[in-house]
Amino acid sequence: MARSALLNVMVQAAIKAGKSLGRDFGEVQNLQVSVKGPGDFVSNADRKAEKIVKDELLKARPTYGFLGEESEEIKGTDGAHRWIVDPLDGTTNFLHGIPMFAVSIALERNNEIVAAVVFNPATDELYTAERGGGAFLNDRRLRVGARRVLSDSVIACGVPHLGRGNHGKFLVELRHVMGEVAGIRRMGAASLDLAYVAAGRFDGYWETALSAWDIAAGILLIREAGGYVSDWDGGSSILETGSVVAGNEYIQKALLEVAKRPVPAR
């Protein structure tokens, strides 16, 4: 596949950060970990990876803005462009030695995501996309799954944990969805959930209370793989609301309808 100069910069930044994470992953028990909040850990590896990504991206485009999980936002002087970065999506997985984590990088131009990279160094899987150019996994073209009914589908989700999310609301959503689908999976890394939908591994995915850096790259991956992504209200304010429902044309619509069913009256 032919990549633009900007996508090449993003790929190199992700791979460089991924190599650093891979080295730390091999010594995960020795990492110094600080507590950022209940159940939400940030490691030296996380901060180091963000510095690598930031340095690489801003060296290539110093006027662009930068939004990352572990540092203050840089507005930039460009005005039209912004990098949106999660240097280690799936921190809890990483710290527990579970090889489901990723570096996620998206480029936003005039409020639209135009390029995306999600890289899992533990599996050496590199997902890339550019607007209008398709989505790829290690240079293989991606398409979302073709299943048309929820009863045949495997659906991914995020599960709120200690100190995060509305547990009661999620249990209602889960109750509705689990009775309609072939299986439910929880990966612990939103960027990979979305990438797996783009690859056809998952048929759909829903989650709320996310941050822009969790989902920006994955949104473009799915759209360029022929899929559909909306916020919880069926609109396009995904980064603003932090809610996402994804799948192909049929599953995304059906999943949104089922997950949002009201609680039945007793």
Hey, what are 14's tokens? Answer: 């992700």
CA distances from 264 to 30, 112, 151, 241 (A): 49, 38, 21, 26
Give burial (CB, 10 Å; 0-12/13-18/19+) of 12: middle
Please indicate if the annotation marks 69 as binding a ligand: yes
CA distances from 132 to 135, 160, 184, 235 (A): 9, 34, 31, 21
User: Is the Cβ–Cβ distance between 127 and 141 less than 8 Å?
Assistant: no
Q: Which of 173, 165, 169 is nearest to 190 (CA)?
A: 165
End-to-end CA distance of the chain: 56
Please indicate if the annotation marks 40 as binding a ligand: no
Please indicate if the annotation marks 194 as binding a ligand: no
Please indicate if the annotation marks 137 as binding a ligand: no
Measured over the CA atoms of residue 226, residue 231, residue 232 and residue 235, the dihedral's sign is negative
Distance CA 88, CA 252 (A): 27
Please indicate if the annotation marks 130 as binding a ligand: no
Q: What is the DSSP letter of 74?
A: B
Positions at the binding site for Mg(2+) = 69, 86, 88-89, 214
Positions at the binding site = 69, 86, 88-89, 214
